[in-house]
Amino acid sequence: MRFLLFVSLVLGCGVIFAQETLTMDMLKAADYMKGKQTFQGRCSACHTLSDDGADIAGPNLWGVFERQAGSKPGFAYSATLTKEQFEWSADRLNNWLADPKGYLPGNIMGIPEPVPAADRLDLISFMLIETGAVDWPRPATAFTANQADRSLPPSERFPSFWNHLMYNTVRYRWVNESAGEELRFDVYNKTDGSIASNIKGLTGFWHITERDFFCYALTGMPVGVGQMVECFPVAAMAIPRFSEELWTSKPQKGVALHGGIAPGRPDWVDGVVESTKN
């Protein structure tokens, strides 16, 4: 009997706590911008993170990783959270977000679904930074002091961004399920402002705006309406990352465009004229 009870306890815990432990190394290497996106999509309706942020439907989370659960003065927590004695850690938060109702039964944080495992690492890393628990660099501060000097070319204002976007291959996967379209293609941003691709007739150009957005246009696409324009903040690419699929955007109705960066210059780029100005 005792043995059975023991087994079922172990199994029971196994089900709830079978989470991977998040090490500081993993968290430090996580994707800040993706974490930010997840926070904005899933948490920011109810929580602020900054030092002087207000309580909304949920408590302000500044300093949350150093405080006991349910202990921010002035916030009306559930009885469940009020009586908990633990301090929030990355692992505790990871476990809670994986099972928002089951981890702390009776809590009143009404999120509609668990946060997918693929998003939790980036989210928690972003929260550690933004709630003051660690002093890891944000992409915005990964720039050099030259960033503010608009008389300099982008290669000097944003060297990390520049080297990443200009000397590597951007890999796309265009998917429009209802139209039955799937197209994989690669592009190469040239330093002269033009864009080459590995698909015949597909070309484009790019430009960095006054507000430091990287905007690019592609034409001659054999899918959709044949062309598209997109912009993203230079800051989103400040920390070099390589992966087949780093982001997904919706350039047209019904289309998911997955993008990633593959290292190096592809051999289909001919006669690239390298200059450091755009």
Q: Which residues bind ligand HEC (CB under 6 A)?
A: 42-43, 45-47, 57-59, 61, 64, 69-70, 72, 77-78, 80-81, 88, 93, 97, 107-111, 115
Spacing of C-alpha 31 from chain mean position:
5
66 vs 245, beta carbon nearer ligand HEC: 66
Strands lying side by side in the sheet with 181-189: 228-233, 213-219, 203-208, 194-197, 181-189, 169-176, 256-262, 243-249
30 vs 43, beta carbon nearer ligand HEC: 43
In the 8-state DSSP scheme, what is residue 20?
Answer: P
What are phi and psi for residue 261, nearest 5 degrees?
-125, 125
Do the Cβ atoms of 129 and 34 come closer than 8 Å? Answer: no
**Amino acid present at 260:** G
Q: How far is the CB of 51 from ligand HEC (least distance, A)?
A: 15
77 vs 143, beta carbon nearer ligand HEC: 77
Q: How far is the CB of 244 from ligand HEC (least distance, A)?
A: 26
Q: How far is the CB of 108 from ligand HEC (least distance, A)?
A: 4
Q: How far is the CB of 243 from ligand HEC (least distance, A)?
A: 23
Q: What is the per-residue burial (b if ≥16 Cβ within 10 Å, else e) of 59-74?
A: bbbbebbeeebbbbee
97 vs 223, beta carbon nearer ligand HEC: 97
Q: Helix 90-98 to helix 117-130 angle, to the nearest 10 degrees? A: 140
Residue carrying the six token digits 């955007």? 249
What are phi and psi for residue 171, nearest 5 degrees?
-110, 125
72 vs 265, beta carbon nearer ligand HEC: 72
Q: How far is the CB of 31 from ligand HEC (least distance, A)?
A: 16
Select from 75, 72, 97, 101 the least CA-distant residue to 87.
72
Q: How far is the CB of 45 from ligand HEC (least distance, A)?
A: 5
CA dist 177 → 4, 45, 174, 194 (Å): 50, 30, 10, 30
Q: How far is the CB of 30 from ligand HEC (least distance, A)?
A: 14
CA dist 15 → 48, 97, 102, 118, 194 (Å): 31, 15, 11, 19, 53
63 vs 240, beta carbon nearer ligand HEC: 63
114 vs 159, beta carbon nearer ligand HEC: 114
